[in-house]
Amino acid sequence: MAETSTPSRPFRWHIVVFLAPAVLVYTLVMILPLFGTLQLSLFRTVENAQSFVGLDNFRTLFGDPRWAATFWNALWNNTWFFIIHMLVQNPIGVVLAALLSSPRLRFSAFYRTAIFIPTILSFVIVGFAWKLILSPLWGVAPNLMDLVGLKSLFTPWLGKEEYALTTLGLISVWQFVGIPMMLIYAALLSIPDEVIEAAEMDGITGMSQFWKIKLPLILPSIGIISILTFVGNFNAFDLIYSAQGALAGPNYATDILGTFLYRTFFGFQLQVGDRNMGAAIASMMFFIILAGVCLYLFTIQTRLRRYQY
Amino acid sequence: MTRKTLTALLLGSSILGSAGTAFAQDVTLNIESWRNDDLAIWQEKLIPAFEAANPGIKVVFAPSAPTEYNAALNAKLDAGSAGDLITCRPFDASLELYNKGHLADLTGVPGMENFSDVAKSAWQTDDGKATFCVPMASVIHGFIYNQEAFEKLGITPPATEAEFFAALDKIKADGTYIPMAMGTKDLWEAATMGYQNIGPTYWKGEEGRLALIKGEQKLTDPQWVEPFATLAKWKDYLGDGFEAQSYPDSQNLFTLGRAAIFPAGSWEISVFNTQAQFKMGAFPPPVKNAGDTCYISDHNDIAIGLNAKSKNLEAGKKFLSWVASPEFASIYANALPGFFSLSSTPVKMEDPLAQEFVSWREKCKPTIRSTYQILSRGTPNLENETWVESANVINGTDTPEVAGEKLQKGLDSWFKPAK
């Protein structure tokens, strides 16, 4: 209507417009469901209606001896699953990347692709293929081990309580070792030649060059990979479900938080699904991952030294 | 493609059917079901037989996918768009529908007297006063064996437990065949084909099952622990690496002729008939001493009920009486060998293996799986726990006593028997 006294800058609508799609989609598919889950975990079905019960579901989860035992079992299994990845997958990934970046290696593009291929396979295929390979009846594993005279070491790994989870962990490592390899390979390639040349001038070559020059420079990448592994492992579900089923046998030896959540939320066989307890478990998974990521961000990442080239 | 055509045909026929009602005053009944495998049997055999006998009533069989059935049905019932006739899952899923007023009380429908109390137990209120679905079929547990293997080794089907283990020893000593095809990887195999198969002999079928529900017996009592002890003995007769052997592995081991005995459910019959190249026989779970009464698990699996809000209640009841008749039983049981009619009048079946299975009903006392009624309502769920413990017992992780204790403890945590 009236003219404004000061010529104000026009509102920059384009920022809102450009941000809107991402914000809307992210809110719809990530933030709303997250708060929906948190809310659901505070309710319980009483006489066919949802009623607010505060933290009662969490009290059941940690107070009831059966729920608590299942939860701690799943959490420990999950932690062990993560430890296997940290101890096996990431070091192998670093070694493979170091080998691949060596200028003297021939066919490196072929190796790179071959090692990365399992990562793009579906969990169902991986689970099924490994179940077949390790099958004591039709699998190739017993025959192959027989060829090298190690038949006596073969056991039905997926069916034994003490080996099943480790076996699945290693299968998952086989599948995903390509990801740390690729990320570290990229980091290694981005180290400028001048730095390497300077090191060579100072007489640092070979292994000591890797330990003293390259490794410190790729530490931030290793940190990122660790946190990705952590988030991925604590959200894992598919491989266990496709190889061992929702009851995560034998005797819950391969039960991780994901399968525990699935069984509780959706129910299984005669067990009716319990959305509220399921949401409580999902919330716990969220808090565990949140705590892990925060720990990393505030204690480890801030201390990592970055180098400017 | 074919499914689309079928859906189109079905849709077309249902529209045409309802268009017909306006003129000829025909009534159309829609059946909700998860058995889309049975579509051809309904369209080609069952529905024509009913329509020929009952002019004026048209029937349309409209199945949906098994995994979606419960959810889809609930949504349709709430919205009032569900079919007139509803295929019932056993026990709590259907009981809930009845309690919500979706299923009509069928206690007085003519034909209901053709079924025993055990047959009806899966679709009754807890006190047994109201029945809300007409039982259609059950599955029976027993052992299927490779007849050629038995003849070659000179073994006759065992009747007692001692004979059973003697036969297993003999097969093992010979070494040509794996004595028994079963694995513990899939868990349910150990519980369903193992524990629920041989168990009724120990807990005396219905007697033990009902006493458990009433709280008079406990899973730690000898009659409930003993089947676990017998299962533990099976371990030595299973194939190498049975811990990682899945259910399809077991099926293949048997149909390829590498194993002699398969602890089975009757639903295997049609599969095995097409896959196995040798003659097969069957024997019921062996009894402890010669001359003991034998018990079999004759587990209710499928039934059909009436939508309480249907506009065609009378026609629906007429159809259900027909489902309860021996005529329906005979057509259904022959079209699907291994799914046995629950009717008290014996049904004549062509398949020899199916005949053998169903013949046990006359000499043995039937019961249903002990964990299904009431006892699997809470958390932890007794059925799922039994899967885990049965596998544990065979794997040697738990002793039979520990397994019984664990199950009873889980049950005690939520189940209070009505005293």
What structural domains does chain A harbor? 56-303 (1.10.3720.10)
Residues A156, B388: C-beta atoms closer than 8 Å: no
**Contact residues, chain B, for A134 at CB < 8 Å:** 244
The b-or-e profile of A100-120 (16+ CB within 10 A means b, else e) is bbeeeeeeeeeebeebbebee
The predicted-structure confidence for A79-113, as pLDDT tens digits, reads as follows: 999 999 999 999 999 999 999 988 888 898 899 99
Q: Are strands B280-283 and B133-146 parallel, antiparallel or unpaired?
A: antiparallel
**Contact residues, chain A, for B380 at CB < 8 Å:** 66
Whether the CB-CB separation of B264 and B140 falls below 8 Å is answered with no
pLDDT of residue A7: 67
**Contact residues, chain B, for A128 at CB < 8 Å:** none
Whether the CB-CB separation of A168 and A88 falls below 8 Å is answered with no
Distance, in angstroms, between B311 CA and closest chain A CA?
27
The predicted-structure confidence for B38-74, as pLDDT tens digits, reads as follows: 888 899 989 999 999 898 899 999 988 776 687 778 8
Task: Please check whether residue A255 touches B, CB under 8 A.
Answer: no
The b-or-e profile of B306-341 (16+ CB within 10 A means b, else e) is bbbebebeebbbbbbbbbbbbebbbbbbbbbbbbbb
Q: Say how far apart CA A181 and CA A175 lie, in whole Å.
A: 12
Distance, in angstroms, between B326 CA and closest chain A CA?
31
pTM exceeds 0.90: no
**Contact residues, chain B, for A277 at CB < 8 Å:** 379
Q: Mind listing the domains of chain B with CATH numbers?
A: 2-137+300-354 (3.40.190.10), 140-298+368-412 (3.40.190.10)
pLDDT of residue B336: 85
The predicted-structure confidence for A119-143, as pLDDT tens digits, reads as follows: 999 988 999 999 999 998 888 888 8
Of B249, B384, B398, the CB nearest to A269: B384
Whether the CB-CB separation of B14 and B30 falls below 8 Å is answered with yes
Mean pLDDT of A161-185: 94
Residues B388, A158: C-beta atoms closer than 8 Å: no
Task: Please check whether residue A152 touches B, CB under 8 A.
Answer: no
Residues B381, A270: C-beta atoms closer than 8 Å: yes
Residues B243, A250: C-beta atoms closer than 8 Å: yes
Q: Which of B350, B352, B258, B294 is nearest to B142 (CA)?
A: B294
Of B240, B244, B379, the CB nearest to A158: B244
3-state SS class at B195: helix
pLDDT of residue A300: 83
pLDDT band at A4 (very low <50, low <70, confident <90, very high): low
Q: For chain B, which residues score pLDDT lower than 70? A: 1-25, 67-68, 418-419
**Contact residues, chain B, for A159 at CB < 8 Å:** 183-185, 241-245, 395
pLDDT band at A115 (very low <50, low <70, confident <90, very high): very high
For residue B41, with 0-12 CB atoms within 10 Å meaning exposed, 13-18 middle and 19 or more buried, which class applies? Answer: middle
- Give every CB contact of residue B201 below 8 A, 6+ residues apart in sequence: B227, B285, B286, B287, B288, B292, B294, B295
ipTM surpasses cut 0.90: no
Tokens of B257: 């002729």
Plot region of B111 (φ>0 → left; ψ -120 to 50 → alpha; else → beta):
left
**Contact residues, chain A, for B244 at CB < 8 Å:** 134-136, 156-160
Of A156, A247, A274, the CB nearest to B243: A156
Whether the CB-CB separation of A187 and A99 falls below 8 Å is answered with no
Higher pLDDT, A305 or B323: B323
Of A158, A247, A270, the CB nearest to B187: A247
Tokens of A259: 């399968």
Query: Chain A: residue nearest B90 by CA?
Result: A270
Query: Chain A: residue nearest B183 by CA?
Result: A159
Chain B positions with Cβ closer than 8 Å to A: 92, 183-188, 239-246, 249, 253, 371-372, 376-377, 379-381, 383-384, 387-388, 391-392, 395, 397-398, 410, 413
Whether the CB-CB separation of B228 and B191 falls below 8 Å is answered with no
- Beta strand ranges found along B210-339 (DSSP E): 259-265, 280-283, 294-306
Of B187, B243, B372, the CB nearest to A160: B243
Whether the CB-CB separation of B164 and B234 falls below 8 Å is answered with no
The predicted-structure confidence for A213-257, as pLDDT tens digits, reads as follows: 899 899 989 999 999 999 999 999 999 998 998 888 899 999 999
pLDDT of residue B8: 54
- The conformation of residue B83, written as its DSSP 8-state character, comes to -
Q: Which of B41, B40, B14 is nearest to B29 (CA)?
A: B14
Chain pair A-B, CB pairs under 8 angstroms: 95
pLDDT of residue B119: 84
Tokens of B140: 């029976």
